[in-house]
Chains A and B, each alone.
Chain A
Amino acid sequence: MVTFEELKDARFESLRSHADAWSRAMRQLDDIARDFELGVCGATETAGWRGDAAGLANPELEAALRRIRIAAVEVRGIAAELDFAAEALSGAQTRLFGELHHASTEGVSVLGEGALFRVAEALPPTAPREEHELTAVRAKLDGYAQRLQAILNDATAADSRHAAALAGLSTGEVARGDDAALKHAREDLRRTFTTMTPARTAQWWAGLTEAQRQAYLNDYPHEVGSMDGLPASVRHQANQMALSSRLAELAPLVDGGTATTAEQHEWDNLRRIGQVMATNLERLPEEQLMLLGFGARNRDGEAVVAVGNPDTATNTVVMVPGANTTVSGKLGEQVDRATLLQRAANNVTRGVPGDAAAVVWLDYDAPEVSPTAFGSAVGTERAQEGAGRLGRFIEGARASGPANQHLTVSAHSYGTSVVAYAARDKDGLPADEVVFLGSPGVQVDDAHDLNVDTGHVWVGLAEDDLVAPAGSFVHGPLPSESSFGAQVFPTNDGGHFSYWDMTWVNGEWVPDTSLGNQADIVMGQDP
């Protein structure tokens, strides 16, 4: 437990000095890894060294290079973790000093007494006081005691959390030195960047200088690009850098035929993301794409892509796709749907372009379904596994978006289970509207269980959507049933994938009923 005296007297600048030293070490390790790869491994390759000796030397050199790389990744994590720890703990100290300042202006003194502290009147009056005066004084002193204790509790929790995270960044992975150790080191680094809540991340970023932000972008592009709570523009810039860098790493492996199966899948997925992002050249300014995340956690890949700018849009919808959605196979289609919804929403308020953004959130392993087998879609594991990340993303969107941004989460098919699991969590989803499209059931019987005002839980189910009812034997009652208690909005016919259909009216393509109604909801209007 951090005591009052310890927090008051702590000098967190020493922690920052350590973080700086580790940052310098991180850059040097990067340089050494590069130099070893080119100057040692590359040079022996250039020497045309073949034979028994070379055959035995190469694995040894590669092992040394891998150990240097693991060290570089782990040290990266330590530098960031120390920086985050200094930020969190000095933040608690600043709050403590604020309370002490207020206390002194109100004639209250706070004294540390060993592991405890005592709150008292600085100059108690000598004359007797009325009972109501004593009650007021006691309430004031209790208030200070409680607030100070809360600060100490927060500092203790932060101290424990960061110490535990640092303990996890030990040297063991370097000593192991194999491919699995390198993968673990990268996971450690990712974990470091998710220790802060999205709201705290937003505060942290806002408090950095421009030079510090640039350093983080340069040193940790993929980690920064994945941080929920950062502005979309920052994530986009970071992810573009990280995507290019990763493709450059994979290209020689793929071209040389030495890529593993996982690397080949990653290459296919990242190339597809690159192709989708390249369509920006042909897109309208208010329909530009922003890359808010990508990954290779699963074989099918992960991608989060915004149409429009969520940093400035007053209305943002986050779309969670359903089964069979893969990056290499379906990202383009998902972005097309998001574009149609964003455009339709923008047209709800004609004359105000760019006041809507739509985000394709494909950061979970969507299950595979074939006409003859429901496979993983009959289970809820994928939904539960993705729900936590969706919750963080929505929290981050709330923290980084404009004040009073109208936020909608819209899910299709199996994606509705992901949203439901995220919403029924104790903290719920900080969304203004929740939309279920073609839902086969959302694991709860009542809209109240989603922790969202049931007047803002919307359900669209096409009359000829045969897929959704078929899944309800696994996922619970259809949310379109009246007993569920959600708002059911009119839809057009066209089956399970008709919710983004356009229709030809009076010589032009316009959103059909389902899409038009979704656009209204996204813009905060009743459909």
Chain B
Amino acid sequence: MSDQPPPAPTPTPAPGPTGVAPSGIAPGSVPVPGATPSPAPGVNPYPVLPGFLPGIDPARAGGYTVNSHLLLPAASRADANADALLGLGTGLALGAPAGLPGFQTGWQAGALADAWSHELGALSSAVRTCATKIRETTRAYLEAEARNAADLR
């Protein structure tokens, strides 16, 4: 009689809600002819695809789960937040307060308003990038799902 329990059976990987990872060429990417990745230990051989979250790279996308329909509202919210940040930045372009010649505080307030107006614009762009990436990635998920479903019909 063994004093060790038998090894647990290896679980069969369960597909996520969309079942299969996206395949094919991701939209927006330009395949480079002959640019076959040459794997090296610890180095990602695949370039980050512009406009996509890097993990969507078809060759690397392994097991994943997602309810892709719930991702689209997230992209919309991120867009709305980007709009709000942009408006906020525009609104803070106040210039220096009037009627305070000779006061460093007035000058500094103006400089700060300009700098923050610019920074909030940059922050808006970063949030917009998040929205775009979520949206494009979701679209890739949905397209892959549609393609896979068509293949199985």
**Taking beta carbons and an 8 Å cutoff, which residues of A are in contact with B?**
2-3, 6, 9-15, 17-18, 21-22, 25, 28-29, 31-32, 35-36, 39-40, 43-44, 46-57, 60-61, 64, 67-68, 71, 75, 78, 82, 85, 89, 159-160, 162-163, 166-167, 169-171, 174-175
- Whether the Cβ atoms of A36 and B64 lie closer than 8 Å is no
Query: Is the pair B126, A171 in contact by a Cβ cutoff of 8 Å?
Result: no
Does A163 contact B126, Cβ atoms closer than 8 Å? no
* A21 cross-chain contacts in B, Cβ below 8 A: 91-92, 94
* A interface SS class: helix
Q: Which residues of B contact A40 (CB under 8 A)?
A: 74, 77-78, 81, 130-131, 134
Closest 7 CB pairs of A and B: A51-B64, A11-B99, A52-B55, A39-B77, A53-B55, A163-B104, A47-B70
Q: Can you name the residue of chain B whose Cβ is closest to the Cβ of A36?
A: B81
Q: Can you sample 23 A-B contacts with CB below 8 Å? A: A10-B99, A10-B102, A10-B103, A14-B98, A32-B85, A32-B88, A40-B74, A43-B74, A43-B77, A46-B70, A47-B74, A50-B16, A51-B16, A51-B55, A57-B134, A68-B85, A71-B120, A89-B103, A159-B104, A163-B108, A170-B112, A171-B119, A174-B123
Contact with A along B98-129 (1 / 0, CB 8 A): 11111111111100110110111011001100
In the assembled complex, the Cα of A82 lies from the Cα of B96 at a distance in Å of 12
Contact A170 B115 (CB under 8 A): yes
- The reply to whether A47 and B137 form a contact with Cβ atoms under 8 Å apart is no
Kindly list chain A residues whose C-beta atoms are within 8 Å of the C-beta of B106: 14-15
Given the interface pairs A32-B84, A36-B81, the reply to whether A44 lies near B112 with Cβ below 8 Å is no
The answer to whether A48 and B74 touch across the interface, beta carbons within 8 angstroms, is: no
Q: Does B65 contact A (CB under 8 A)?
A: yes
**A49:B65 contact, CB within 8 angstroms:** yes
Asked if A36 and B78 make an inter-chain contact with CB atoms under 8 angstroms apart, the answer reads yes
- Quick one: which of B66, B77, B126, B133 contacts A49, CB cutoff 8 A? B66
State A9–B99 Cα separation when bound (angstroms): 8
Task: Determine the distance from Cα of A48 to Cα of B69 in the docked complex, in whole angstroms.
Answer: 11
Give min CB distance, B72 to chain A, whole Å: 9
Do residues A53 and B53 form an inter-chain contact, with CB atoms below 8 A? Answer: yes
> Complex Cα distance A55/B107, Å?
45
